[in-house]
Amino acid sequence: MRITLACPEGLIEDANALLSVLGDGPADASTFGAAAWQDARGLSYALASWRDAGDFAARAGAALTAPAWPCDMAAALRAQEALTFGGAARAQAIVGVEGLAPQAAIQHLGVTLIETSQD
């Protein structure tokens, strides 16, 4: 199953901590990069999409256990509380979409790639 998450710019560090806890290694702490997407109000988001075994929502909602690598558990817990599934991207939530191809998930989340001017 495919998972796509939209993370508001202000929650990127927390979301990366959560994905580090739930992931396979310390590299998962870099899942979310720059906030290159925006919603209709102009709020910025980082997006991440990957194939999952289908249990991400359950694992993300369960009690977190510190991984073997360094991780900010307080940040991971904040992200866990901000995580929700369904609906459009919103300012104070990390919004997940399950089971949709990336383009369909992006449309569902209501975000578009931020246009950059090239001089």
Domain count, the chain: 1
Determine, yes or no, domain membership for 83: yes
Q: Which domain holds residue 53?
A: 2-113
Rounded to two decimals, what is the model's pTM?
0.93
Q: How are strands ordered across the β-sheet holding 2-8?
A: 83-85, 94-98, 2-8, 44-51, 37-38, 112-113
**Does residue 74 form part of some domain?**
yes
pLDDT digits (tens, 9 = 90+) for 47-101: 999 999 889 999 999 999 999 999 999 999 999 999 999 999 999 999 999 999 9
23: left (phi over 0), alpha (psi -120 to 50) or beta: beta
